[in-house]
């Protein structure tokens, strides 16, 4: 039996938090079935997601980032562009592209808040893995 491969893209900004999504993802999908790709930030994820999906190697592509306020750009605009771009990548290629791109209302870089976000990203990574497994199985049943 051939195993489905999955791609996991993660933004390097706030990697101590974002990397936890990959940890959660790998709790459900074996590392041997996941190719991991790093990008500088969230804005670079949609293009890579589209290009990876186009290869036909992956049953699904997941992308993880933490987009926070406090920078020179409006974080809500960046987050909207990222999520829209990820959806567009999936629609253009016919490969599910899953978002673990989170945008808190007010990010405070304290140990307490960072620990909350680390735990939350583990959970979101698990949820992305569950979605990836479910959608690839559904598509396999529907389309062979």
Tens digit of each residue's pLDDT (9 = 90 or more) over 119-134: 999 999 999 999 999 9
Mark whether 140 is an active-site residue. no
Residue 1 inside a domain? The answer is no
Residue 83 has pLDDT above 80, yes or no: yes
| Domains: count for the chain | 1
Binding site: which residues? 13, 42-44, 66-68, 99, 113
Binding site for (2S)-2-hydroxy-3-oxobutyl phosphate: which residues? 113
Spatial CB neighbours of 72, under 8 Å, sequence gap ≥ 6: none
Range of the domain at 129: 6-143
Active-site option among 5, 50, 74, 139 = 74
CATH number where 23 lies: 3.40.50.960
52 touches 61 (CB < 8 A)? yes
Q: What is the pLDDT of residues 14-56, one digit of tens each?
A: 999 999 999 999 999 999 999 999 999 999 999 999 999 999 9
The pTM (predicted TM-score) of the whole model is 0.93
Q: Where are the alpha helices (DSSP H) in the chain?
A: 15-28, 45-54, 75-93, 111-143
DSSP letter, residue 14:
T
């Amino acid at each position: 039996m051939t195993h489905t491969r999955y791609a996991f893209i993660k933004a390097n900004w706030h990697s101590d938090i974002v990397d936890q999504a990959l940890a959660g993802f790998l709790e459900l999908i074996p590392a041997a079935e996941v190719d991991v790709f790093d990008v500088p930030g969230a804005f670079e994820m949609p293009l890579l997601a589209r290009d990876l999906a186009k290869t036909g190697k992956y049953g699904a592509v997941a992308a993880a980032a933490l987009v926070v306020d406090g920078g020179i750009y409006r974080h809500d605009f960046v987050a909207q562009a990222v999520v829209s771009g990820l959806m567009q990548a999936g629609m253009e290629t016919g490969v599910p592209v899953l978002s673990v791109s989170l945008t808190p209302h007010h990010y405070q870089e304290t140990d307490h808040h960072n620990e909350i976000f680390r735990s939350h990203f583990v959970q979101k990574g698990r949820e992305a893995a569950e979605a990836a497994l479910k959608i690839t199985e559904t598509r396999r049943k529907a389309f062979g």
